[in-house]
Amino acid sequence: MKRSKTSKQWMREHVNDPFVLRAQKEGYRSRAAYKLLEVNERDHLLKPGAVVVDLGATPGGWSQVAAAKGCKVIALDLLPLQPLRGVDFIQGDFREDDVLAQLGEMLDGRPVGLVISDMAPNISGIGMSDQARAMHLAELALEFAVLHLKPGGAFLVKVFQGAGFESYIRLMRSHFGKVVTRKPKASRDRS
């Protein structure tokens, strides 16, 4: 199948992206690693020994950073994840009860210090639908965080500003004492 003009443009932009090139040079799985590194430098979320649950983990950039900071990482994604030292992985759909049960077994009662979520739906190109599906995943991640975080735990989630963003922020404020938004330098301009 022939690639679309948009697909070719994205690929050209991706392979020339300075954060993609830097990630390849420095051995990170993805450019997303720099987003977490920057947020952590500012907010000190990654604490050695803390249990971190990474939702939407593949290709593993966030898990890789968390493990390198000494966290005990449990990662989950629909897609396979190449093994990473210090990361336990569950392949499955976060929306399914049996996958959540596996995650609960892996946690084995350990308190979760940080939930990170970079989940995103497969993009259809229909903006309103894609935004609604992305917000639904963010809401599920928030629900998981509220249920599993220890007192004083933190939740980091990637969301796109658009329909539902402001109400999501209000919902987060009803559960957390401090809610801030960040746009790391490694985020693309259109994100």
Q: Which residues are catalytic?
A: 158
Distance between CA atoms of 40 and 70, rounded to whole angstroms? 13
Burial of residue 23, with CB atoms counted within 10 A of its CB: 0-12 exposed, 13-18 middle, 19 or more buried: buried
**43, 73, 152, 165 from 112: Cα distances, Å:** 17, 10, 10, 25
Cβ neighbours around 142 below 10 Å, total:
20
Distance between CA atoms of 108 and 85, rounded to whole angstroms? 20
Distance between CA atoms of 144 and 105, rounded to whole angstroms? 15
- Residue 43: CB partners within 8 Å, gap ≥ 6? 154, 180, 182
- Residue 123: CB partners within 8 Å, gap ≥ 6? 130
